[in-house]
Amino acid sequence: MSLKKSSTKFFVLFICSVFNADADNYPLGARNSALGNTSVSLSDVWSAQNNQAGLAFLKNNSAAFYHEQRFGLKELSLNAATTNFSIKKGVFGITISSFGYSLYSENKFGIAYAKPLSTTFSIGVQLNYFHTHIADGYGNKGVLVPEIGLQKKLNEKLIFGVHFFNFTSTKLAHYTDERVPTIVRLGMNYSFSKQVIIALETEKDIQYNPLLKAGIEYAPRKNIFLRAGVSSEIFSFGFGLNVKQLQLDFSTTLHPTLGYTPQIGMSYRFDKKTN
Amino acid sequence: MKKIIFQPQKWIIQSNLWIVFFALLFSYKVSSQEILSDEELEIDEKVEMNVENSDAVENSDYTNLFEILQAYHKNKLNLNTATANDLSDLQLLNNLQINNLLNHIRENGLLLSVYELQTIDGFSEEIIQKIIPYIRVGKVEEKNNFSLNKIFKYGKSQWTSAFEQTLEKSKGYLIPGKTSYLGSPQKIIERYKFQSSNFVSAGFTSKKDAGEEFFSGSQKQGFDFYSGYLSIKNNHFIKNIIVGDYQASFGQGLTTWTGFGFGKSSDVMNIAKSGAGIRPYTSLDEINFFRGIATTFAFKRFEISTFISDKKTDATIVPSLNEKDSLAVSSIKQGGLHRTITELQNKNSLQEKIFGGNITYQKNNFSIGLTALQTNFDKPIQKKNILYNAYDFSGKINTNAGINYGFSHRNFYFFGETAISQNGGFAYMNGILASLSPTVSFSVLHRNYSRDYQNFFSKGFSENTKTSNEKGIYFGIEMHPFSNFSISAFADYFQFPWLKYLVNAPSYGNDFLENASYTLSSSIKLSVKCRQHKRFKNMPSAGLINGILPISQNNYRFQIQYNARDFMEFMNRLEYVNYIQTNTVPSNGFLISQTIFLKKKNKPFSISLNYTLFQTDDYNSRIYFLENDFYNRYSISDFFYKGSSVSFSGKYELSKKIILSVRATQLFYQNKNNIGSGSDEISGNTKNTVAGQLQFSF
C-alpha cells in the first residue's frame, strides 16, 4: 500500500464526509443536475431515481446512461444506468449506480414500480440494495433501503411532487450508529408556456439544514433545451439536444471552493409500437 | 383620474388597419395620477439597494435621476425619434426592450399609437403603464436649425436655493481643536439651470456643506464647491459639445464610467448598462466628474467622443518613497467635506489630468465600441503597504482601454465588455437578457475582474465597490404568472481571489433576492422582499491569527401602499434583519413605519408625514430606510439601536413659477445619550434637522 494511495483514500473519505455522500441518494441525470436537482415534480427517464411517481406519466419506454466526475476527479466518478418499461397497470424501472473507485465505492441497485391512481395522480415505490466497499480489509456492507414518491397534476401547468428516501432510517453500521440518511423532498413545477418550465424544490436531509432549489428549462426550439439551476452555494447550467429518439444532455455544477463537476447523460426513447 | 384617449389621426387611417384594431382592443384605462407613481418608487428601490450595497448613505446624490424623469414628464419623449440613449435615460426600460422597440420601428415603420407597444416582445401591460406618463407617439418633426434668436426665445431658467441644518450642535462646533469645524452648521446650495429646446443647456451649482466656512477664512471665494457647464447639441456632424463639468460613461462601465451605475436590484432584467456617452454634470457629488471639454461627432454610422479633463481632487499627502518626487498620495478622498484643518489640507491636493475617447459603431441592432482613457496625477499614488493593497495602482500615469458590444437577436440581447489596464490587469464581463415567453424573462451575467485591474473611473457590475478582484455569475428571473402579480428573483455567486479591506483571505459568497408584488386593485399594492446575503469577514476579535468567518445577513420586508381617500395615500413598512457571523452572537433588527401622503387635486400644497420605530442589536443589523417625501423625492437613513424617527415634509406652489418645499425630521434614541461619533457626536438623545428649498422657474 503506497502512501500516495492511502492519502488519496483519505481524501476521498474526507470529501465523502464533507459532501454527505455516504450511501447517499444521488440525484441522477444531466437534466436534473442542470436544473439544480429540482426533479421531485418532474417526469422523465431518470424518474426511477429522482421520484418514482414520475414514471407513471411517461409515454414511452426508455433507457439512459449518466456519468459525472465530481470536481473533475476520476476517483469521484459516478456512473449510472436506468431503464423503464410499462406493463398493463403500471411502469417498472430499474436503476444501477456506482460511485467511487477500486479502494472505495458505493453501489446501488434499485427496482421501482409506479402506478397512476388517476389521470392526474400517481404513486411510485422503490426498493434498493445499497452496497459499500472499502478496501484494505475494511470490507463490504449491504443494506436494503426503501423509497416512496407521489406526484399530483393540479392542472395542465402546475405539478406537485413529494419524495421520501429511506423513511425506515436503515442502519449502515453499529459503530457510531451510522445510518443511511433520511431525505424528504417537496417541490413543484410550473409551465409558463410550452417553452418554459420553472421548478422549485425544498429538500431536508435529517442531518443537514434544509435546502431551497430552483431550476429553469427553456426550449428555444423543439429539440434544444437550455437549463440553469440554483441552490445555496452551488449553481448549475447545461443544455440538451434531442435527435429523433436520442437525447443528449450536458451540464455542470460549480462549487465555490472545489470547482466544476461536469456531467453527461444520454437517453433513448423506444418506439411505442415495440411495447 | 387621467385617461389617455385614443385619437385617430389622418396618418393613422392611411396605414395598416389591423394595428388600429389592435390598439382599440387594448385601449385600457390608464391611471397615472396616483400620489406616488410606481415608476418613481422603482427608482427609489434601486437607489436604496445601491446605498445598501455600497454602505454610503450621504456620499451620493441621486436627485439627478428624478430630474431626468421629471423633465420627461413635462416634455414627453417621442418614441418615434428617440435614440437608444434617450430610452435608457428613462431608467424604466431594459436593453432588450429598447432594442426590440427600435427594431420594431425599423421594420414596421413609425409607431401609430402607444398601444402598439403591446405587440412588441418584452413589453408587458405593466411596463407600458409605467412609461406612459413619460412618453408619446408622434410624428418625426423637422429638425430645427440652430439660431441664437430661438435659443433665447425658447429658453427656460430655473433657480433653486436650498438650506439644511441640524439644530443640535455637535462636538465639532463646540470643542475647539484640530478636528473642530471651522464654519457654521448650515448646508447651503444654490443652483441655476438654463435649457433652450434641445440645443443649448447651461447650469451652475454651488454648495457649502455643514461645518464649512462661507465667505470667510479658507473660503474667501464663498462656497466650497462650484460646478458649471455649457452644453450645445446639434443633430448634424457635431452632436454635442460640453464645456465645463461633465460626466463620461461608455459601454458596460469597465473602462470609463462616471456618474451612477446601478448594480443588483429587484429590477433583475436591468443589469446591462448603456453608456450615455458624454453628458453635463449637475450632481452635488464633489469628486466623481470630469472638468474640461468634451465633444461628440457623428459620422455616418460612427460616433466619436473625445474628452479632456483637468481638475484638482482631495487626497491625503505623505512623503514620497521614491527619489524623484518629494510628495506622494496615500489615498484619494471621496466625501468632498472641508470642515476641519485636516480636511482643508487635503482639499485639492492632487491634480488629475484625464483624457480619453470612444468610437462607437452602430448598425441596426448591433453596436461595438472602443474606449481608451489615460489618468495623469501630479504626485505618485503610494498606498499603504498593507496586503490587501498589494495589487492596487501605484505611480502617476494609468492607461485603460476596452472594447464593448451589444446586440439583439430574436428574443435575446447580448452585451459585454473587455478591458485592460496598463499593468496587464484585465476585466471582462458578458451577459444575456432573454424574454423566454410573454410572462417570463431571464438574465444571466458573468464577470471576471482580475485582482490587478486598475482603473480610477470604472463601475462594472459587481459585488465589490470597485471593479477588480472579483469573479462571479448572476442569474435573474422575472415572472408574471397572473396579471397584477409579479415575482422577480436573482441569485449571484461571487469569489474574491485576493484579500479585501476587513477580509484577510481570499473569500467567496452569494446573494439571493426574491421580490413578489401584488396589485390588489388600482389603490392597493403589496410587496414582499427577502434577501439572503452571505460573505466572509475577519473574526471580530483579533487573536494571533486573524482569520475570516462567514456572515449571513437576511433581510425580510413587507410593504403595503394604499389609497385611504382620493387625496390621501398610506404606506406601511415592516422590516426584519438578521445578521449572523459564525461563532458570534446573532444580531437582529426590526423596523416598523407609517407614511401618510396628502395631496388634493387643484390644491397647491402636498404633505407627507412619516413615523418610524426601530430597534436593532447593534450597527451590524442596521436598517436602511428610504423614505419618500415631498421635499427631495426621498431621503435615506440608516437606523440602528433603539428609537424613533418622525418627519414632516411639504411642498407649496406659491405660483406656477415659485415652489417652496420644507422638511423637518426628529431622530430620538431610547437607549443612548449621544448620537453619532467623532466630531459629529451630539450629546443628548434627540437630533432635529430642518431643511427648506425655494425654486423659481422663469
Give per-residue pLDDT as tens, A220-233: 999 999 999 998 87
Q: Are B231 and B280 in contact (CB under 8 A)?
A: yes
First to last CA, chain A: 51
Mean pLDDT of the A74-93 span: 92
Nearest CA in chain B to A214: B491
Distance from CA of B477 to the nearest CA of A (A): 9
Query: ipTM for the complex?
Result: 0.85
pLDDT greater than 70 at residue A96:
yes
CA–CA gap between residue B280 and residue B257 (Å, rounded): 14
Query: Among A195, A235, A257, whose Cβ lies nearest the Cβ of B436?
Result: A195
Using 50, 70 and 90 to split pLDDT, how confident is the model at B446?
very high
Q: What H or E segment, with its residue span, contains residue B25?
A: helix B17-25
Q: Where are the alpha helices (DSSP H) in B520-574?
A: none
Query: Among B437, B508, B532, whose Cβ lies nearest the Cβ of A196?
Result: B437
CB contact under 8 A, B493 and A235: yes
Using 50, 70 and 90 to split pLDDT, how confident is the model at A247?
very high
CB contact under 8 A, B436 and A257: no
Residue type, B243: V
Query: Among B436, B475, B512, whose Cβ lies nearest the Cβ of A218?
Result: B436
For cell 446586440, what's the residue?
Answer: B407
CB contact under 8 A, A230 and B475: yes
CB contact under 8 A, B493 and A216: no
Mean pLDDT of the A57-72 span: 92
Cell readout for B141 is 418633426
Cell readout for B411 is 428574443
- pLDDT, one tens digit per residue, over B522-555 is 778 899 999 999 999 998 776 677 789 999 999 9
Mean pLDDT of the B440-449 span: 95
Cell readout for B511 is 446573494
CA A165, A169, A170, A173 torsion-angle sign: positive
Distance from CA of B508 to the nearest CA of A (A): 7
Residues of chain A positioned with their CB less than 8 A from the CB of B481? 190, 192
Residues of chain A positioned with their CB less than 8 A from the CB of B493? 233, 235, 254, 256
Nearest CA in chain B to A256: B508
Residue of B440, B443, B480, B487 for testing the chain A interface, max A β-carbons within 10 Å = B440
CB contact under 8 A, A257 and B508: yes
Q: Supply the pLDDT for residue B287.
A: 87
Q: Supply the pLDDT for residue A12.
A: 52
Q: Supply the pLDDT for residue B21.
A: 46
CA–CA gap between residue A169 and residue A130 (Å, rounded): 13
CA–CA gap between residue B690 and residue B646 (Å, rounded): 12
- What are the phi and psi torsion angles at B294 (to 5°)? -135, 140
CB contact under 8 A, B440 and A196: yes
> Which residues, 6 or more positions from A73, have their beta carbon under 8 angstroms from its beta carbon?
none
**DSSP structure class, residue B640:** -
Percent of chain B whose pLDDT exceeds 90: 46
Residue of B268, B410, B437, B514 for testing the chain A interface, max A β-carbons within 10 Å = B437
Distance from CA of B121 to the nearest CA of A (A): 15
Cell readout for B672 is 443612548
Q: Are B279 and B259 in contact (CB under 8 A)?
A: yes
Residue type, A29: G
CA–CA gap between residue B282 and residue B202 (Å, rounded): 10
CA–CA gap between residue B196 and residue B523 (Å, rounded): 38
Residues of chain A positioned with their CB less than 8 A from the CB of B440? 192-193, 196, 198
Mean pLDDT of the B426-435 span: 95
What number of other Cβ atoms are within 10 A of residue A188's Cβ? 19
Residues of chain A positioned with their CB less than 8 A from the CB of B533? none
> Which of the residue ranges B35-49, B301-315, B484-498, B506-520 would you say has the lowest mean pLDDT?
B35-49
Q: Are B183 and B339 in contact (CB under 8 A)?
A: yes
Q: What Å distances lie between residue A57 and A194, A195, B186, CA to CA?
A: 17, 19, 73
CA–CA gap between residue A220 and residue B326 (Å, rounded): 63
pLDDT greater than 60 at residue B344:
yes
pLDDT greater than 50 at residue B3:
no
Q: Are B165 and B186 in contact (CB under 8 A)?
A: yes
Residues of chain B positioned with their CB less than 8 A from the CB of A235? 473, 475, 491, 493
Query: Among B473, B495, B508, whose Cβ lies nearest the Cβ of A235?
Result: B473
What number of other Cβ atoms are within 10 A of residue A170's Cβ? 17
Q: Supply the pLDDT for residue B14.
A: 42
| Residue of B430, B428, B456 lying closest to B444 (CA atoms) | B430
Query: Among B437, B444, B532, whose Cβ lies nearest the Cβ of A192?
Result: B437
CB contact under 8 A, B481 and A192: yes
Residue of B436, B483, B488 for testing the chain A interface, max A β-carbons within 10 Å = B436
What number of other Cβ atoms are within 10 A of residue A250's Cβ? 18
Mean pLDDT of the B490-507 span: 93
First to last CA, chain B: 29
Cell readout for A79 is 456512473
Q: Are B676 and B166 in contact (CB under 8 A)?
A: no
> Which residues, 6 or more positions from B590, have their beta carbon under 8 angstroms from its beta carbon?
B575, B576, B577, B614, B615, B616, B623
Nearest CA in chain B to A157: B481
Q: Supply the pLDDT for residue A273.
A: 47
| Residue of B265, B291, B271, B269 lying closest to B280 (CA atoms) | B291
Q: What is the mean pLDDT of chain A?
A: 87
**3-state SS, residue B345:** helix
CA–CA gap between residue B517 and residue B478 (Å, rounded): 11
CA–CA gap between residue B282 and residue B148 (Å, rounded): 24
Using 50, 70 and 90 to split pLDDT, how confident is the model at B292?
very high
Query: Among B481, B493, B512, whose Cβ lies nearest the Cβ of A256?
Result: B493
CB contact under 8 A, A193 and B439: yes
CA–CA gap between residue B624 and residue B642 (Å, rounded): 14
Using 50, 70 and 90 to split pLDDT, how confident is the model at B58?
low
Residues of chain B positioned with their CB less than 8 A from the CB of A230? 475, 491, 512
**DSSP structure class, residue B90:** T
CB contact under 8 A, A193 and B438: yes
Cell readout for B209 is 456643506
Residue of A216, A221, A237 for testing the chain B interface, max B β-carbons within 10 Å = A216
Distance from CA of A229 to the nearest CA of B (A): 9
**3-state SS, residue B296:** strand
CB contact under 8 A, B475 and A228: yes
Q: Are B453 and B431 in contact (CB under 8 A)?
A: no
Q: Are B486 and B480 in contact (CB under 8 A)?
A: yes
Q: Are B616 and B608 in contact (CB under 8 A)?
A: no
- What are the phi and psi torsion angles at B11 (to 5°)? -75, -10
Residues of B at the A interface, defined by Cβ within 8 angstroms: 434, 436-440, 442, 444, 473, 475, 477, 479, 481, 489, 491, 493, 495, 508, 510, 512, 532
Nearest CA in chain B to A158: B481
Q: Are B394 and B375 in contact (CB under 8 A)?
A: no
Q: Supply the pLDDT for residue B200.
A: 87
Residue type, A152: K
CB contact under 8 A, B442 and A232: no
Distance from CA of B686 to the nearest CA of A (A): 43
CA–CA gap between residue A140 and residue A56 (Å, rounded): 35
Using 50, 70 and 90 to split pLDDT, how confident is the model at B131?
confident
Nearest CA in chain A to B514: A214
Using 50, 70 and 90 to split pLDDT, how confident is the model at A164?
very high
Q: What Å distances lie between residue B142 and B113, B202, B363, CA to CA?
A: 20, 24, 23
Rg value, chain A, Cα:
18
pLDDT greater than 70 at residue B214:
yes
Residue type, B107: E
Q: Where are the alpha helices (DSSP H) in A24-131?
A: 30-34, 47-50
Q: Supply the pLDDT for residue B22.
A: 46
Q: Supply the pLDDT for residue B12.
A: 39
DSSP string, B227-290: EEEEEEE-SSSEEEEEEEEEEEE-TTSSS-B-S----S-S-TT-------EEEE---S-SSS-E
- pLDDT, one tens digit per residue, over A9-53 is 555 555 544 444 445 677 899 999 999 999 999 999 999 999 999
Distance from CA of A197 to the nearest CA of B (A): 10
**DSSP structure class, residue A233:** T
**DSSP structure class, residue B391:** T
| Residue of B21, B171, B237, B187 lying closest to B676 (CA atoms) | B171
Question: CB-hemisphere CA count at 13 Å for A114?
Answer: 34
Give ∠ CA A63-A65-A69 in degrees, rounded to 5: 165
Q: What is the mean pLDDT of chain B?
A: 86
Highest mean pLDDT among B46-55, B57-66, B136-145, B429-438: B429-438
Q: Are B548 and B538 in contact (CB under 8 A)?
A: yes
Using 50, 70 and 90 to split pLDDT, how confident is the model at B31?
very low
CB contact under 8 A, A196 and B434: no
CA–CA gap between residue B385 and residue B392 (Å, rounded): 10
Percent of chain A whose pLDDT exceeds 70: 90
Nearest CA in chain B to A190: B481
Percent of chain B whose pLDDT exceeds 70: 90
Distance from CA of A213 to the nearest CA of B (A): 11
Cell readout for B318 is 505623505
Residues of chain A positioned with their CB less than 8 A from the CB of B442? 216, 218, 228
CB contact under 8 A, A235 and B479: no
Cell readout for A109 is 441497485
CB contact under 8 A, B444 and A228: yes
Phi-psi bin for B83: left (phi > 0), alpha (psi -120 to 50), beta?
Answer: beta
Question: Alpha-carbon dihedral of residues B37, B112, B81, B101, nearest 10 degrees?
Answer: 70
**3-state SS, residue B570:** strand
Residues of chain B positioned with their CB less than 8 A from the CB of A257? 508
CB contact under 8 A, A193 and B440: yes
Residues of chain A positioned with their CB less than 8 A from the CB of B463? none
Mean pLDDT of the B472-491 span: 91
Mean pLDDT of the B500-508 span: 92
CA–CA gap between residue B120 and residue B435 (Å, rounded): 11
**3-state SS, residue A257:** coil
Residues of A at the B interface, defined by Cβ within 8 angstroms: 190, 192-193, 195-196, 198, 214, 216, 218, 228, 230, 232-233, 235, 254, 256-257
